[in-house]
Chain A
């Protein structure tokens, strides 16, 4: 879901950032007005909260775990506009400090998750909850659906962005320059994961958190529930709270029912976009129109006249049992799509359950590591995240080449190089930029082992898995055929996979340089020089600061839980525990944000933040900046 660098073309990134801009503008306007002064700490802390929530391993059915984004909760507690800001900030920090999601793709990721996600989540919640009381079970269901819908619509946006890349951006040989899969592959591939795992994670978090707020501080749900009857607001008596708590069990069951309905209904909504799923490859090869397009795109080299036999076999798996006896409407594209989507989703769940069953039956200790509990995993993840940032800060305090640069020069300079890596159309220029990045890393005393483990291998594992099928699926001149399956390896496919992997590696290496050599506090102060809005700088700073507090709080929570845990928790208990931990963290977030607002007021804050404008750039800094931008421009020119 977090789109890395290199998957989207520069023009897509720019368009999506431009599409996001008006939303950010309106959101900032709303937050700036003095009436909403308390929103500044609230947004910062919520962003930090959302960041920490993204690190939670949420237990899902079938023994797997997933991560949530938190846009459902954010839009319910903060309202859609403040939620847009909070999630955007959290995504920016993830990209800048953890290399999770590309720097050039920040606009796209914010558009999908922060903007589309918040608005869809908010709309769903308002529509489903309607005028139900603040403490009603209906709100819990509404929140779950809001989270589920929000993340799925966001994933659909990302899938469409991926899917249009090969249509629009190809090199001279017809090889896709960015994400290689067309809509009819990108959409089902993305949606499958989100309709199941990621969607569930979001659902668990959103509904669990609203249930938590109903019990602890229902007044917080008032902001997005203006129509709810006033009677049960705030003044829930202890007895009433108990009844709310008692309703938790049926609520969970209703949630599962609602989810089942969603699994069936959601594919309908996607129908408008792609053609039927499961028919992509074979039909393509026999359609004369598409064949002509392929031929044109591949320098008039005719594609193989028939579908590769392996692919044809694969595609008939879905339709085979139905086609002979089914009435005609069942053979229609829509119905076929619906059925295959349902079968696909069911298959994934069944596969997960089967895997879980098999793993559970394997003899323990038979050369297999003990499976870590989600509590342990989360606690370790939180510790690692803190460790990573602290390590980066230590690294940035040493005296290497990049460390000595003015933070502004570094931000823009490395940003320009990343943009160049995303923009060039020649593999050797891309490789040249990577070499430059490695040289800079060496000059800045960054251990190569760290780059290899945290960047090169990690990116290769992720992007490699995505790129490999493109070798076969990209139409073009076959250079080799797989024995047995007879799938053609196309020259265009190889180039396309090469582009994707090399771009992702180069951009991730450069981002890591930025992360490991920049002191964030100095960068924030320096950002004011570029007239970055004060509110944004202040919120970014506060988010980063409280991220550490919440990471520590969450870690303490999970570690103390771990120390008291005996035996293995039931799956339902695990989910309840995860949601409750998130709830406690949310409670802490809101409490701290209220107090921070008071602390700001006590020192003269009246809704408009003032910051010290920092130092001018010196001539030397301009020179270095020119060197970076010059190198980036030269690379773009070479690789055009």
Chain B
């Protein structure tokens, strides 16, 4: 039996008196790549924060590798550091994630908090800088980085701890095609079962490359589940989750024969 990385059971969470999640359940196996699909405000980001142990459910339970994830449990220093080492979260807004004065400091922050020895930190940071192709940026301040560079540095700042579980919130949102491709390449490379990856996204184009399984969110609940292909062909589900919009437009069939029809736009393959 494959071990469960996360087991989310009937979780509810309110944010400023507004229900963000209402009775949500899902499972993620170890080594699996799962995409969370949903429109803006469907509760994806909230769920990622709950999974990362940054907030805690009002109702229901989340367990990580069979161990219940509660505020009390994270008070324990040993569990806290163990958990932080194994679970990394990349925030949607890179400006939030890059709070250090320089790229080097950014990468060194995590290892420093986890009390790694200084020599090991320098080596590991250098290694990740090279592998993410950002070594030339190491003395750069965050306000001197482009949007794509910021995302890469944010990802690197989490990868430096080599976490088993990677939580990504809209990793390729608002990026130019080349920066986007780099992130997708990285996610594809995680497909060998070495890492558990949970990605919140509403980008359907790259879904098949970056995920083994999808959960579709609507109104703080799971509206559907399946492989990327199953989900992409379930037009009714995608519409209900407001991921696609049927829109009437005209195609000219022959002369004068103008027929409006509801029509789903989707890009598959290349």
Question: What residues make up the interface of A, taking CB atoms closer than 8 Å to B?
Answer: 41, 234-235, 393, 519-522, 524-525, 541-542, 544-546, 548-549, 592, 595-596, 598-606, 609-613
Instruction: Let me know if A598 and B113 touch, CB within 8 A.
Output: no
Residue of A nearest to B75 (CB): A606
Q: Check if B99 is an interface residue, CB within 8 A of chain A.
A: yes
B contact patch SS: helix
Residue of A nearest to B115 (CB): A610
Contacts of B109 in A (CB 8 A): 600, 603
The 9 A-B residue pairs with the shortest CB-CB distance, nearest first, are: A604-B113, A548-B143, A603-B110, A541-B101, A521-B102, A595-B96, A604-B84, A610-B112, A521-B101
A525-B96 contact given A599-B91, A601-B54, CB 8 Å threshold: no
Instruction: Let me know if B17 and A599 touch, CB within 8 A.
Output: no
A605-B17 contact given A521-B105, A598-B49, CB 8 Å threshold: no
Contacts A/B (CB < 8 Å), 30 sampled: A234-B17, A519-B139, A521-B102, A522-B139, A525-B105, A541-B100, A541-B101, A545-B101, A545-B142, A548-B143, A549-B143, A595-B96, A596-B96, A596-B99, A598-B91, A598-B96, A599-B89, A599-B96, A599-B99, A602-B52, A602-B84, A603-B110, A603-B113, A603-B157, A604-B80, A604-B85, A604-B114, A606-B113, A610-B112, A612-B108
Contacts of A41 in B (CB 8 A): 99
Q: Check if B264 is an interface residue, CB within 8 A of chain A.
A: no
CA distance A41 to B121 in the complex (A): 24
Known: A603-B84, A611-B105. 14 other contacts (CB 8 A): A234-B17, A521-B141, A525-B101, A545-B99, A545-B101, A548-B142, A598-B54, A602-B84, A603-B161, A604-B84, A606-B80, A606-B113, A610-B115, A612-B112
CA distance A330 to B70 in the complex (A): 73
Instruction: Let me know if A235 and B17 touch, CB within 8 A.
Output: yes
Contacts of B54 in A (CB 8 A): 598, 601-602
Residue of A nearest to B98 (CB): A545
Instruction: Let me know if B101 and A549 touch, CB within 8 A.
Output: no
B149-184: contact bitstring with A at CB < 8 Å (1 yes, 0 no)? 000000001100100000000000000000000000
Instruction: Let me know if A544 and B157 touch, CB within 8 A.
Output: no
CA distance A41 to B109 in the complex (A): 14
Q: Check if B63 is an interface residue, CB within 8 A of chain A.
A: no
Shortest distance from the beta carbon of A78 to any chain B beta carbon, whole Å: 18
Q: Which of the listed residues B54, B99, B112, B144 has the most CB atoms from chain A within 10 Å of its own CB?
A: B99
Instruction: Let me know if B99 and A600 touch, CB within 8 A.
Output: yes
Contact of B113 among A548, A592, A595, A605 (CB under 8 A): A605
Residue of A nearest to B144 (CB): A393
- Count contacts on B: residues with CB < 8 A to the other chain: 40
Shortest distance from the beta carbon of A192 to any chain B beta carbon, whole Å: 39
CA distance A520 to B105 in the complex (A): 13
Contact of B158 among A524, A603, A609 (CB under 8 A): A603
Q: Check if B25 is an interface residue, CB within 8 A of chain A.
A: no
Contacts of A235 in B (CB 8 A): 17
Contacts of B250 in A (CB 8 A): none
Q: Which of the listed residues B81, B100, B114 has the most CB atoms from chain A within 10 Å of its own CB?
A: B100
Contacts of B142 in A (CB 8 A): 545, 548
CA distance A598 to B113 in the complex (A): 14
